[in-house]
């Protein structure tokens, strides 16, 4: 996993004060990293338009133009005259070395957005909006310097933002790049080296970006084993029985030795999934909530009080009886609407879904500070997983998953790993990664995935 920071000004300051690296040195390395990326990846391209604003994001762009102008046909366009001291120096350097300046936007093979970076501090005016819209409308490879212009430090976009194919961010990953809103603008994210190893530039943090290597599949390491060695998951099915059945199938395909669906009615289940009318004595984990609908409160209370690992989803986020188990290391997997209800039940906040979506991390942190043992997995295009002070973001999911039943698969995957003995946080992280990576391996198209396809892809990981 990689570290994520809410802000990097303090990290830059540490470079100046503790490592005697000046702003000029950091900026030279930042622009060299961008130049190297462009030279290596796009050496077959000819023309580059670099669009600069008045701050140091613009200054990065001027330095980039100087580094690239002998190798490509580079034009520098200024949205506003550069204002910062270092920007003025960069301007003099570029001008004296013969970099070309453009007085209007012209298309190019590559467009680099250096209009606003971390200093975006007010709503965009009409001039900035039409500039960004014009750039977005051009057919070109689009690279954003530090952060796509128009994305604010809280990850939100007021009017418009540069639509990057790649964002080259300076020094370290920033939280603003990982809001659900930002995901449609940032493209691929690369970190530019600032002339100091990343481990030295970065300090402590409590936020992490999950990587593929964080996925720990439930491989079997012992020959001397039997089905009981891999746990027994009970999936509690309710009115919408399909949800429980999908979860059960996903759990079985992800390694649980035995999976039983708990339901009073007799179900038509695949032969390898068992049915039980009551929770099994020997179950090692319980998944409950998916498709539960109306239920006997006492029965659900009894199930929740059983001393095994649990994953709770869906309908139970609307019921105060959940409060009884929030002092446990239980896994909760709400989508945004369910999380709003959970926050309300817990008396933490009474907010709309929009307010939540604009401040996902803030409310996850609030919840986790009140219930530090709970593993919370907030669904979304970037899934946030949190326990106590630590928070992990999974960006691998995509709109392929925007289908009824995708969440039921996820509950089954979490339940499966819990049954197999994973710690709740590890189960949530690996299940979430498996879920998203399996979806990205589904190659037929981006609209037709059904839960059984997703389970099939999980089985192939
Ligand atoms: N620090 C370092 O060591 C390193 C920093 N680096 C680079 O510096 C960047 C940060 O630079 P920065 O702080 O100068 O801010 P930046 O993003 O260029 O924007 C500020 C300018 O935009 C203006 N402005 C803002 N909002 C506006 C609006 N809505 N509409 C119109 N104008 C608006 C604002 O105007 P003002 O508020 O002054 O009126 C100001 O002039 C960072 O992202 C990275 O790329 C790297 O080189 C690595 C080393
Ligand atoms: N656009 C998207 N990008 C990434 N993941 C998504 C997207 N849309 C949905 N998902 C994922 O799909 C799942 C949907 O869950 P949920 O809404 O609970 O569905 P259901 O209850 O119908 O099974 C979640 O894990 C969510 O993160
Ligand atoms: K930018």
Q: What is the DSSP letter of 97?
A: T
pLDDT over 70, % of the chain: 100
Return the axis-axis angle of helices 424-441 and 406-419, rounded to nearest 10°.
Answer: 140
Q: What is the mean pLDDT of residues 102-109?
A: 94
Q: Is 146 assigned a ligand-binding role in the annotation?
A: yes
Task: Evaluate: CB of 58 within 6 angstroms of ligand 2.
Answer: no
- pLDDT at position 251: 98
- pLDDT at position 109: 98
Q: How far is the CA of 164 from the centre of ligand 3 (A)?
A: 9
- pLDDT at position 431: 98
Task: Evaluate: CB of 118 within 6 angstroms of ligand 1.
Answer: yes
| CATH number of the 213-460 domain | 3.40.1190.20
Q: How far is the CA of 39 from the centre of ligand 1 (A)?
A: 25
Q: What is the mean pLDDT of residues 417-444?
A: 98
- pLDDT at position 413: 98
- If you count DSSP H runs as helices and E runs as strands, how many of each does the chain have, helices first? 15, 19
Q: Which helix (H) or strand (E) holds 141?
A: strand 141-145
Q: What is the mean pLDDT of residues 35-52?
A: 97
Q: What is the mean pLDDT of residues 259-284?
A: 93
Task: Evaluate: CB of 337 within 6 angstroms of ligand 2.
Answer: no
Q: What is the mean pLDDT of residues 439-454?
A: 97
b vs e for 270-298, b when ≥16 Cβ sit within 10 Å of the residue's Cβ? eeebbeeeebbeebbbbbbbbbbeebeee
- pLDDT at position 287: 97
Question: 176: pLDDT confidence band, cut at 50, 70 and 90?
Answer: very high
Q: Is 123 assigned a ligand-binding role in the annotation?
A: yes
Average pLDDT over the chain, rounded to an integer = 96
Domains 2-205 and 213-460 are alike in CATH topology: no
Contact between 302 and 346 (Cβ < 8 Å): no
Q: What is the pLDDT of residues 331-373, one digit of tens each?
A: 999 999 999 999 999 999 999 999 999 999 999 999 999 999 9
Q: What is the mean pLDDT of residues 434-458?
A: 97
pLDDT over 90, % of the chain: 95
Q: What is the mean pLDDT of residues 276-285?
A: 94
Q: Within 13 Å of residue 459, how many CA atoms lie on the same side as its CB?
A: 12
| CATH number of the 2-205 domain | 3.40.50.10260
Q: Helix (H, G, I), strand (E, B), or coil: what is residue 102?
A: strand
Return the axis-axis angle of helices 56-68 and 23-41, rounded to nearest 10°.
Answer: 50
Q: How far is the CA of 143 from the centre of ligand 3 (A)?
A: 9
Asked if residue 238 has pLDDT above 90, the reply is no
Q: Is 117 assigned a ligand-binding role in the annotation?
A: yes
Domain spans in the chain, listed from the N-terminal domain onward? 2-205, 213-460
- pTM score, two decimals? 0.95
Alpha carbon nearest to ligand 1 atom 21, residue: 55
* Least distant ligand from the CA of 21: 1
Asked if residue 296 has pLDDT above 90, the reply is no
Q: Tokens 């039980």 identify what position?
A: 276
Question: 121: pLDDT confidence band, cut at 50, 70 and 90?
Answer: confident
Q: Tokens 């089985």 identify what position?
A: 459
Contact between 110 and 48 (Cβ < 8 Å): yes
Residues in the chain: 461
Q: Is 402 assigned a ligand-binding role in the annotation?
A: no
As for the ipTM of the complex, it is 0.93
Highest mean pLDDT among 154-158, 276-280, 341-345: 341-345
- pLDDT at position 328: 92
Q: What is the pLDDT of residues 240-249, one digit of tens each?
A: 899 999 999 9
- pLDDT at position 242: 93
Question: 158: pLDDT confidence band, cut at 50, 70 and 90?
Answer: confident
Q: Tokens 């540069």 identify what position?
A: 162
Q: Helix (H, G, I), strand (E, B), or coil: what is residue 58?
A: helix
Task: Evaluate: CB of 53 within 6 angstroms of ligand 1.
Answer: yes
- pLDDT at position 7: 93
- pLDDT at position 293: 83
Q: What is the mean pLDDT of residues 112-116?
A: 97
Task: Evaluate: CB of 17 within 6 angstroms of ligand 1.
Answer: no
Q: Is 398 assigned a ligand-binding role in the annotation?
A: no
- Tell me the chain's radius of gyration from C-alpha atoms: 25
- pLDDT at position 295: 78
- pLDDT at position 294: 78
* Least distant ligand from the CA of 397: 2
């Amino acid at each position: 996993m990689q570290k994520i920071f809410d802000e990097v000004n303090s990290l830059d300051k540490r470079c100046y004060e503790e490592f005697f690296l000046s702003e000029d040195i950091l900026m030279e390395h930042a622009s060299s990293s961008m130049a190297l990326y462009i030279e290596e990846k796009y050496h077959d391209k000819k023309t580059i338009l670099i669009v600069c604003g008045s701050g140091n994001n613009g200054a990065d762009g001027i330095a980039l133009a100087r580094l690239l102008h002998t190798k490509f046909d580079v034009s520098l366009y200024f949205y506003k005259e550069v204002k910062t001291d270092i920007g003025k120096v960069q301007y003099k350097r570029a001008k004296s070395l013969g970099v070309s300046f453009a007085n209007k936007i012209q298309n190019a093979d590559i467009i680099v957005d250096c209009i606003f970076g971390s200093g975006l501090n007010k709503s965009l005016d009409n001039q900035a909006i039409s500039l960004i819209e014009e750039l977005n409308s051009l057919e070109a490879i689009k690279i954003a310097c530090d952060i796509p212009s128009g994305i604010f430090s809280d990850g939100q976009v007021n009017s418009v933002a540069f639509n990057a194919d790649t964002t080259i961010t300076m020094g370290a990953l920033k939280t603003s790049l990982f809001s659900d809103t930002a995901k449609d603008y940032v493209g691929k994210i690369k970190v530019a080296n600032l002339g100091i190893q990343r481990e030295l530039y970065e300090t402590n943090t409590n936020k992490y970006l999950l990587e593929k290597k964080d996925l720990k599949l439930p491989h079997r390491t012992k020959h001397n084993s039997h089905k009981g060695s891999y746990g027994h998951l009970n999936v509690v099915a309710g009115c919408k029985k399909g949800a429980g059945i999908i979860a059960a199938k996903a759990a079985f395909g992800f390694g649980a030795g035995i999976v039983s669906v708990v339901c009073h009615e007799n179900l038509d289940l695949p032969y390898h999934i068992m049915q039980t009318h009551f929770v099994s004595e020997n179950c090692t984990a319980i998944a409950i909530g998916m498709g539960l609908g109306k239920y006997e409160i006492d029965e659900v209370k009894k199930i929740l009080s059983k001393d095994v690992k649990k994953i709770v989803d869906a309908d139970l986020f609307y019921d105060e009886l959940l409060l009884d188990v929030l002092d446990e290391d239980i896994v909760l997997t709400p989508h945004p609407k369910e999380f709003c209800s959970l926050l309300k039940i817990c008396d933490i906040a009474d907010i709309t879904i929009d307010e939540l979506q604009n401040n996902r991390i803030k409310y996850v942190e609030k919840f986790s500070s009140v219930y530090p043992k709970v593993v919370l997995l907030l669904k979304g295009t970037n899934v946030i997983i949190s326990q106590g002070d630590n928070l992990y973001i999974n960006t691998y999911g995509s709109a392929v998953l925007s289908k009824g039943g995708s969440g039921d698969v996820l509950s089954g995957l979490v339940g499966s790993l819990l049954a197999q003995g994973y710690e709740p946080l590890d189960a949530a992280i690996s299940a979430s990664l498996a879920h998203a990576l399996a979806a990205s391996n589904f190659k037929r198209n981006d609209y037709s995935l059904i839960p059984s396809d997703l389970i099939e892809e999980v089985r192939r990981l």
